[in-house]
Amino acid sequence: MALDLYQVDAFTGRVFGGNPAAVCPLDAWLPDATLQAIAAENNLSETAFFVREDDGFALRWFTPTVEVDLCGHATLATAWVVVHCLGDASSLLRFSTRSGVLTVARDGEALVMDFPARPPVPCEPPPGLLAALGLAGGPLQVLEADDYIVVVEDAAVVASLAPDIRALAGLPNRGVAVTAPGGDVDFVSRWFGPNVGVDEDPVTGSAHTALAPYWSARLGKPRLRARQGGRRQGTLECELAGDRVRLRGQAVVYMQGRIRV
């Protein structure tokens, strides 16, 4: 069987930036083991698979090791493929997912995703978290939602992180985001998720469903500009709207091809 496959750099306007995702359109669902094998073969943080439905698309996301409940950059990449590669002229795309119905709207050269907000709550850091991050000292705050969120006060600390990935893999949550106030943006972050097969994700849309509510409350503004990543980075705009977060970003197709399974 031959299938189309796209590789898209999300949350960036140029190739080699942002977060790469694979996108694979399907006529019908393949066995889960086949989907997981394709994702493992792609060896990107996420591979998105979608099937057209009457009122939109069914969408699923796989890391190289597991299926996940929510993924921002692969949703953005999928919408970009639907609009710019498959020629869908709809002003609003609907995706049915494990996190409910998600919509993506056009906004000039960008796309805007509408996701559920997941405000984090303060927590005690689990044993080993701060040591694994190399943050045993200094002012910080720890919160949790789907991920642990560690707030530091200096963007240079975020940039210099060199965590012990094996130690992070033993922690109970999905992953950990480390964030700080930004300079030319409202906040910066990096995200590590070895528990789901992703040592570091350059730009994690789903993490911003928790980061955006935190920074919106702290800075007293509903709209924020964010940058995420270490050596590879991307940018996005976040807008808090009640119990929803709108994430605005661009994407660019790096590769289009065919795979045989």
Residues 80-94: tens digit of each pLDDT: 999 999 999 899 999
Domain boundaries for CATH 3.10.310.10 within the chain: 2-116+247-260, 121-242
- Both tokens of 74, joined, read 């692969």
Burial class of residue 119, CB neighbours in 10 A (0-12, 13-18, 19+): middle
pTM of this structure? 0.93
Residues 122-164: tens digit of each pLDDT: 999 999 999 999 997 778 999 999 999 999 999 999 999 999 9
The pLDDT assigned to 109 comes to 86
**What CA–CA distance (Å, rounded) separates 151 from 137?**
13
Q: What is the CATH number of domain 2-116+247-260?
A: 3.10.310.10
Looking at this protein, which amino acid is placed at residue 246?
A: R
Helices (H), the chain: 32-42, 72-80, 129-133, 155-159, 165-168, 208-219
Whether the Cβ atoms of residue 182 and residue 214 lie closer than 8 Å to each other = no
Burial class of residue 77, CB neighbours in 10 A (0-12, 13-18, 19+): buried
Q: Which residue has the tokens 């994690």?
A: 204
To the nearest 10°, the Cα dihedral for 79, 61, 227, 94? 30
**What CA–CA distance (Å, rounded) separates 172 from 170?**
7
Residues with Cβ within 8 Å of residue 84, at least 6 apart in sequence: 253
pLDDT mean over 91-106 = 96
- Both tokens of 189, joined, read 């972050």
Catalytic residue among 41, 46, 109, 153: 46
**What CA–CA distance (Å, rounded) separates 62 from 44?**
9
Fold (topology level) of 121-242: Diaminopimelate Epimerase; Chain A, domain 1 (3.10.310)
Phi, psi for 185 (deg, rounded to 5): -130, 170
**Mean pLDDT (the chain, rounded):** 95
The pLDDT assigned to 89 comes to 86
The pLDDT assigned to 117 comes to 96
Tell me: pLDDT of 246 over 90: yes
Residues 158-201: tens digit of each pLDDT: 999 999 999 999 888 899 999 999 989 999 999 999 999 999 99
Whether the Cβ atoms of residue 175 and residue 196 lie closer than 8 Å to each other = yes
Which residue from 182, 186, 176 is spatially nearest to 210, judged by alpha carbons? Answer: 176
Catalytic-residue membership of 46: yes
The pLDDT assigned to 125 comes to 92
